[in-house]
Structure 1
Amino acid sequence: MKLLNRSLIYLSAVFFIIIGVWSVIFYFNLKDEIRDSIDDGLDNNRLLILMKIPSDSSLLSQNEFGGNNFKIHPVSKEKALEFRDVFKDTMMYRINENDLEPVRVLHSAFEHENNYYKMTVISSLVEEDDLIEDSFWSVVSLFIILIISIIVVNNLVLRKVWNPFYDVLHQLKTYRLDKHEKSIKINSNVKEFIQLEAAANTLINRSKEAFNAQKEFTENASHELQTPIAIIIGKLELLLESQNLKDEDASTIAEVINISGRLKRLNNSLLLMAKIENKQFLDEEIISVNETAKTFLSNYEELLEFKGIAIQLEELNDLQVKINPSLIEILISNLIKNSIFHNIENGKINIQFTSDEFIICNTGMEMGLNPNTIFNRFEKDPTKVESTGLGLSISKAICDSYNVKITYEFSKNSHCFKINFKNILAAL
């Protein structure tokens, strides 16, 4: 979720709570004020009636509301003296409305010429209830208007305020350490964005220093280690051609040459992994995984024929990905070599290309391997002395560098490796 949308949710929630609480308080305060106003009116009507009774005694015989808003009943002195003025809400049938109507009622008692009476005065609440309802919908309308205003301000005003942040984000996403790019620049005088610019450039400078140091190390290591190893192997091969060697000495020299060869391959593999993890393979092209796999299979035709391994290709789609050419070749070749060298005589290799996956399965050991450790460095079959144990680790490092998932499973007596290229599929 974007930061702007999250702030919109928080603001809406805060406004909803504030306006909700305020609306409840406003409703009860408004209701109390209306009731107080009506009660004052009822009490005033009572006093007016009491003032008119001495001059118009016919009012004492008004024992039904009829078209009036009061009625009077005679009561005993005891009840009159015990009676207290009471205001309350009730429903009353009104002939002119032909329906029940909410009213406010005042019950009171008074004395006139030594006679005691109970007076009931009423006032309609219809207009007051309409006023409360209108006020409620006004509050709801206010809340809706506020939310719309927040959305408008959020998307027009705040978005403009956050433009420098998104600009920095874009520059960081596209920044390449291997290129001589300029420092990140923010066109803003906001203090926080200026601090963000300084922090981003500091981090980039440190990353450049680390990147250049690692790159220099791998280049130096490649040169400094490969050359002595090559010289050692060359000298030993020349020594092996000497006619004065005994058989035991020749065997020892051959074994040392073999170990030196393994050391050379191990050095190459470790340097390759360092380059992959240091993101030194940055050039990308649209590559067909199908064609890459077919090319490597053709290079191993003689070995496949010698071991009697049958190849089955299932091209459900032309799988094209955007990746560094060297890395996709290393990745596919490692898996193909793995399926050949760890296969059995007269075994099978099945390769499947789907819209987003490369799957390779081969016969081999009759039991599955541990999927949790198979991609670890130097994890290998102890019987394969020539193996460096880094082939699958390199494949995993390549996949990790592109956020691509590689998995292993043992299914139907076959060892299967599956690569999901969904994150780097070429736009066709």
Structure 2
Amino acid sequence: MSFTQDVPHMPMQTEADVTTNPFLRDRYAIAGVGETEYLRGGGRTTRAMATIAVRRAIEDAGLEPSDVDGMLSYQGGDSTFAPFVAGDLGIRLNFYMDVFGGGTSTEALIGIAMGVIEAGMCRTVVIFRSMNGFSQVRIGGTGVRAAETVSGDMLHSRPYGWISAGQHFSFTFMRHMHDYGTTPAQVAAVKAIHSEHASNNPKALYRKRVTVEEVLASRMICEPLHLLDCCVETDNATAIVVTSLERARDCRHVPAVIRGVVGRVNKPRMDMHYQHGPISDVAAKYARERLWSNAGVGPDDIDVTGSYDAFTFTTMLLLEDYGFCKKGDGGEYVSDGTIRLGGRRPNNTSGGHLCEGYTHGVSMVVENVRQLRHDADDSCPIGPDGRRQHTYDYREGGCRQCRNVELTANLSWAGAQTTSGLVMRRG
């Protein structure tokens, strides 16, 4: 008897099965954002970096440390724990939680923050991620602390050569190419376009523009991934402040109002997701109805996306299965100019994980918050009012603020088998 015959039938969730919770729509907002520099070999502990990023996020909101009484973090690798960061800043917490997870942590933690505030457990929550992702614990299982990462599921996967994220995900990427004729050149456009955005981002690690041809000419890492299809590795910390919309309106900036969120939606199999087909489908297929129903909008309403780009392929798959284009049309969607600054729906306007720095998705939320404020921190001149005078000239070294941004979506990835999502509007 084959393995698949032993697995019980698991019916696909339909739109009618989705239970949504729109009653939290427009009740919470991101009031502040903060980050350290994106470096390689910064020489700082994750505790020091987290303290800097959290303090900057609180200051960005116009708050004092005493205004914060909740803290959440994505804990993993060489990260640090929330109570230590709180103590360093003189914050007494009414609630904290350090959550282990992958790239889907950010949006899920935002949902948890909304829930604990709604439950009356605290009033204002800071979420942070701090990681020495280049100099200490590298994602591929190498680096000075590599031995510490060989545990749990990796004990199963390492003997089979499934060590890096690219090796785990290559099944889905290759199958999409087989099923729909997607080409490496189409998907390489994601890197080329994100590099254009990063060239207008003074804090991006990689600011050099690259072409599709240069992506395809870079050395092969794991078929079909070339070196330039893969994200950067950086040492950094990032943070955001979540509070009620009522309170956020009294803060320093126009709030980024949370319309809807979904957290860690899974495919039927999490451990060996490729044993549940179609292999070329990702968890966004199951998350999208809940996200759009909670938010009260659809893909066509979104002005800017932040689609997780651990690899060029992840961006394409998420945009496709969240419904921004038809299944199988993702290659064309990411290569026809739609996601470019000045295009119909720009994506990862900071350069994302492929160019700016790797933060497990927090920086993508930070970027969309700034887009909603109409104040992306690019190279445009500062006016007399202290705000950037955006030129909307997207040539190299210029602007990266999109015109009239009202709605953004963040789409995250910890693998083909799980996703989180977030929709925000300008307050």
Q: What TM-score, normalized by structure 2, do the two folds share?
A: 0.20
- Structure in which a larger fraction of residues adopt helix: 1
> Which structure carries more relative contact order (alpha carbon 8 Å, separation 6+)?
2
Q: Which has the larger radius of gyration?
A: 1
